[in-house]
Amino acid sequence: MATATVARARVGARACGACDARRAASTKRRDATTRRPRRARRGSSSGDVAPTTTSATDARDEAHMRRALEVAATATTAETFPNPRVGCVVVDAREDVVVGEGYHPKAGEPHAEVFALRAAGELARGATAYVTLEPCNHYGRTPPCARALVDAGVARVVVGFIDPDPRVSGGGIQTLLDAGIEVAVGCEEALCREINADFIARQVAARDAAR
């Protein structure tokens, strides 16, 4: 009788241990789905940062980014110098309809995001913004575009590539993430880099000269 009791106790202990293991695994999975996005890491020579995306991209995103590139090409490199050529398209994600477009016409003028948000008006709230270059996060001759996107209430931002300018270099992405906005980085990246090859080269040269 005592032997049977001990056996049952051992079986019960193994069962409890299995329950504990299942509970621990469930908690780990739940934590993984609610974990805060990782903070952007700055300072890469190419302008890249650690993974910061909270959403993936698809063919529809790529089509909208290509349209943003077309808009960016409205201005020439000479016109925007020393700034990059940037385009922005704001899309009503539910209807997949473009509600605002903008580009950076020249240095000292508002950036692409500002023009696109102005065109979209209240329709920007809850929309997706496609920007060929990471939105700036610093005050220069114009206010930071990352903050403009936050204030406009966009729900998601798709970025072509991370700005190699050390004043930005992940900071704009982080501002968006901190505001709870979904971010996807690297959509049509090769094309976005190509249109700003001159800007990227100047940023790399300035960095190397400062060493």
Q: Which of 113, 122, 188, 194 is catalytic?
A: 113
Q: Please state, as a whole number, how many other Cβ atoms lie within 10 Å of the Cβ of residue 135.
A: 27
End-to-end CA distance of the chain: 81
The answer to whether 184 and 55 are in contact (CB under 8 A) is: yes
- 113 counts as catalytic: yes
The answer to whether 200 and 168 are in contact (CB under 8 A) is: no
The answer to whether 56 and 44 are in contact (CB under 8 A) is: no
Residues annotated as catalytic are 113
